[in-house]
A = this chain, B = another copy of it.
Amino acid sequence: MQPVPVLARYSGVRDATQLLVAGLEAEDMVIQTMPDVSPTKWHLAHTTWFWETFLLRPYLPGYREFSSQFNYLFNSYYNQIGARHARDERGFLSRPTLDDVLAYRVHVDEAMSRLLAIDHGAQNTALRQLVELGLAHEEQHQELILTDIKHVLSHHPFAPAAFAGPAGGAGEADAGPCNWIGFDGGVVEVGADEDRFHFDNEGPRHQAILTPFALADRLVTNRDYLAFVEDGGYRSAGLWLSDGWAQVEALGWTSPLYWRKCDGRWEEFTLHGQQALDPDMPVIHLSYYEASAFAEWSGARLPDEREWEHGAATRRSVDGRLCRPGQSAHPAVTPAHRAGGAGPRQMFGDAWEWTRSAYSPYPRYRPAPGAVGEYNGKFMCGQFVLRGGSCATAPGHVRTTYRNFFPPATRWQFSGVRLAKDI
């Protein structure tokens, strides 16, 4: 099979971004419901700014910037690129309007098509790597667009749906029992090879020692988690990490982020609106604290990220329920039985899996030079690694060595849990 030409891939990713927001109103795209959430409009502009800043400005001769104000407005966190607008005030940006942002996208896409048609000689490799980074970056924001608009709509008193119609997969199957798959451990290799695209935090590839362990062969379901809730999980301090219990008490958590009990029945807010809780679906929108407490209650633990990676390497392909906008069904998790094949199921897609590994540098890790070096390294503190992608992750984005990371109180991502244990 021959590689997709880079311009086609560029266009495919850019189009996918806009497909995601096709059903939203201009007014939906302005709102920021918490500092972690960015308005849809901001994502549409920021991803465009990334191409303009790291590709067009340095590499396209004669490129004319769309607006002199956008570098200030749409730089996310790159200190080396200059001053920028405060993150928690993105919801105050009435201007540029959605129409202006869409025009900005057209302007940059047109320039990118010119850039990618040129032979850059000795710079071809560097440029190709930046394009790969830009594509991966835009795919990450595709997922954030979904998690952020879900948060925004959930704060509306009447909880409107982002997507019309029912979610794909609901009510069609049962998840079945959960089984353990054992691994011997020993000296293993983890981390990314140098010869294909990956983020700097995935390398260098290195050896690690694992003691014998087992992984659950599917994700924890709503049914599993409901048993924890109904057994008083949220009232039992002894199950929780100290910080987690403090959070439970301070914020009054009694269930996952989007669960609500209405007239005695559990419902869940989804991108397709408020729905009855489907017990066979993977539980999502858990914090690390909840994942850890659930594992403790289950007599198990969370996997180490190296265990997860070692287990995932037994899968032949990165298969699973990922995000394919414009196709029959919109982002939603699915029951485990749909993911077939040997070894643990649901390793990719459906829900990001919390590991018990703090997000730390691998041995001999050094950040990339320049502003793109701010991408990962400076966040290696206070966060935990998640693995495997979710139903909101773009196909082709995730891989065995991929390390996602969030602070332990994070709940607005599509984050779930797979159990592990020592054997």
Interfacial residues, chain A to chain B (CB-CB below 8 A): 25-28, 30-31, 33, 41, 69, 72-73, 77, 79-80, 85, 89, 91-95, 97-98, 152-153, 155-158, 160, 187, 206-211, 237-238, 240-245, 288-289, 292, 304, 356-358, 360-361, 363-364, 374, 378-382, 408, 422
Would B31 and A378 count as touching, CB distance under 8 A? no
In angstroms, Cα B235 to Cα A79, docked, is: 12
The 6 A-B pairs at the shortest CB distance, nearest first, are namely A358-B358, A28-B94, A79-B237, A27-B94, A92-B155, A242-B378
When C-beta atoms are compared, the residue in chain B nearest to A364 turns out to be B422
Chain B residues within 8 Å of A207, by CB: 209
Beyond known contacts A72-B157, A210-B363, A357-B360: 10 more, CB 8 A cutoff: A25-B94, A27-B30, A80-B238, A94-B152, A95-B158, A243-B381, A244-B381, A245-B378, A288-B381, A382-B382
9 of the cross-chain contacts (CB-CB < 8 Å) are: A25-B97, A26-B26, A33-B92, A69-B158, A92-B152, A211-B364, A241-B379, A304-B363, A363-B422
Taking the closest CB of chain B, its distance from the CB of A386, in whole angstroms, is 15
When C-beta atoms are compared, the residue in chain B nearest to A99 turns out to be B25
Chain B residues within 8 Å of A240, by CB: 378
Would A380 and B33 count as touching, CB distance under 8 A? no
Copies in the complex: 4
Chain B residues within 8 Å of A360, by CB: 356-358
Interface centre among A28, A98, A208, A381 (most CB of B within 10 A): A381
When C-beta atoms are compared, the residue in chain B nearest to A101 turns out to be B27
Chain A residues touching B, majority SS: mixed
When C-beta atoms are compared, the residue in chain B nearest to A242 turns out to be B378
Chain B residues within 8 Å of A91, by CB: 31, 91
Chain B residues within 8 Å of A289, by CB: 381
In angstroms, Cα B363 to Cα A360, docked, is: 17
When C-beta atoms are compared, the residue in chain B nearest to A377 turns out to be B241
Chain B residues within 8 Å of A157, by CB: 69, 72-73, 85
Chain B residues within 8 Å of A98, by CB: 27
Chain B residues within 8 Å of A33, by CB: 92
Chain B residues within 8 Å of A210, by CB: 363
In angstroms, Cα B301 to Cα A380, docked, is: 13
Would A242 and B379 count as touching, CB distance under 8 A? yes
In angstroms, Cα B306 to Cα A209, docked, is: 14
When C-beta atoms are compared, the residue in chain B nearest to A360 turns out to be B358
In angstroms, Cα B160 to Cα A374, docked, is: 32
When C-beta atoms are compared, the residue in chain B nearest to A26 turns out to be B26
* Of the residues B28, B77, B92, contact of A156 by C-beta under 8 Å: B92
Chain B residues within 8 Å of A89, by CB: 155
* Of the residues B31, B304, B381, contact of A30 by C-beta under 8 Å: B31
Would B209 and A187 count as touching, CB distance under 8 A? yes
Taking the closest CB of chain B, its distance from the CB of A43, in whole angstroms, is 15
In angstroms, Cα B94 to Cα A109, docked, is: 29
Taking the closest CB of chain B, its distance from the CB of A279, in whole angstroms, is 29
When C-beta atoms are compared, the residue in chain B nearest to A422 turns out to be B364
In angstroms, Cα B407 to Cα A241, docked, is: 14
When C-beta atoms are compared, the residue in chain B nearest to A83 turns out to be B157
Would A408 and B382 count as touching, CB distance under 8 A? yes
Taking the closest CB of chain B, its distance from the CB of A241, in whole angstroms, is 5
When C-beta atoms are compared, the residue in chain B nearest to A237 turns out to be B79
Taking the closest CB of chain B, its distance from the CB of A302, in whole angstroms, is 10
In angstroms, Cα B211 to Cα A153, docked, is: 49
